[in-house]
């Protein structure tokens, strides 16, 4: 019965649900006859659910510090047919800025500009903030008191990362200009 309750909670949650939140929700329905649920029991149930859904159209994965059901990557082509509109394209400057924030956080706009060697437009920063991938985590104690930026839980969730430790090593990143393609790569306008 516990595994079904956990399955229902994960399915109903809009965001990845943490062990603490699972324990909190389950403690509200505990009977006085049963002992409190511990992490070992939760992990056993989560493992059982992972195994149950491993070869199905959805899978249970750990992402952004919690657990969430996601469509199995094998069926991504089928699922994309549900949406008629194309996903918004990200400009190269937006991707570069997001990468700098992810790898250098906490960081300021001035530090991002110094690293990229080019000014970061307001539309790039507002686009990252609107998507919820970046958040303002404070102000730097220097003249002008610039905002300090960092990535958010939404960033981890949308990019399928458990934590920032799951980012690829920066030495693995490749500059598009270093690659040779048969076709010319153009930046979206």
The CATH number of residue 142's host domain is: 1.10.10.10
State the Cα–Cα distance between residues 118 and 68, nearest whole angstrom.
Answer: 38
Domain count, the chain: 2
CB 3 within 8 A of CB 45: yes
Residue 39 and residue 65 share a domain: yes
CB 137 within 8 A of CB 148: yes
State residue 98's pLDDT score: 94
Cβ neighbors of 133 (< 8 A, separation 6 or more) are 98, 151, 152, 154, 155, 158
Residue 116 maps to a domain:
yes
Residue 179 maps to a domain:
no
Residue-range definition of the domain harbouring residue 162: 92-166
Residue 65 maps to a domain:
yes
Residue 143 maps to a domain:
yes
Per-position pLDDT tens, the chain of length 189: 888 989 999 999 988 999 889 888 887 766 555 667 778 888 999 999 999 998 899 999 888 889 999 888 888 888 887 876 666 678 899 999 999 999 999 999 999 999 998 999 999 999 999 999 999 999 999 999 999 999 999 998 888 888 888 888 877 665 545 544 444 434 444
Reading the block at residue 166, the tokens are 């799951």
DSSP H or E run through 148: strand 147-151
State residue 90's pLDDT score: 84
* CA angle, residues 7, 16, 80, in degrees to nearest 5: 90
DSSP H or E run through 151: strand 147-151
């Amino acid at each position: 019965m516990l595994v079904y309750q956990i399955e229902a909670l994960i399915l109903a949650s809009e965001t990845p649900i943490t062990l603490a939140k699972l324990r909190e929700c389950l403690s509200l329905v505990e009977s006085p006859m049963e002992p409190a649920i511990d992490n070992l029991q939760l992990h056993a149930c989560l493992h059982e659910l992972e195994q149950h859904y491993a070869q199905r159209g959805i899978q249970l994965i750990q992402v952004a510090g919690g657990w969430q059901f996601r469509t199995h990557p094998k069926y991504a082509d089928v699922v994309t047919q549900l949406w008629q509109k194309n996903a918004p394209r990200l400009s190269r400057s937006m991707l570069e800025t997001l990468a700098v924030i992810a790898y250098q956080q906490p960081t300021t706009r001035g530090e991002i500009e110094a690293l990229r060697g080019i000014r970061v437009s307001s539309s790039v920063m507002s686009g990252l903030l609107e998507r919820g991938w970046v958040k303002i985590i404070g102000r730097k104690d220097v003249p002008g008191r610039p905002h300090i930026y960092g990535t958010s839980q939404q960033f981890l969730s949308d990019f399928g990362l458990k934590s920032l430790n799951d980012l690829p090593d920066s030495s693995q990143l490749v500059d598009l200009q270093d690659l040779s393609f048969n076709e010319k790569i153009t930046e979206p306008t």
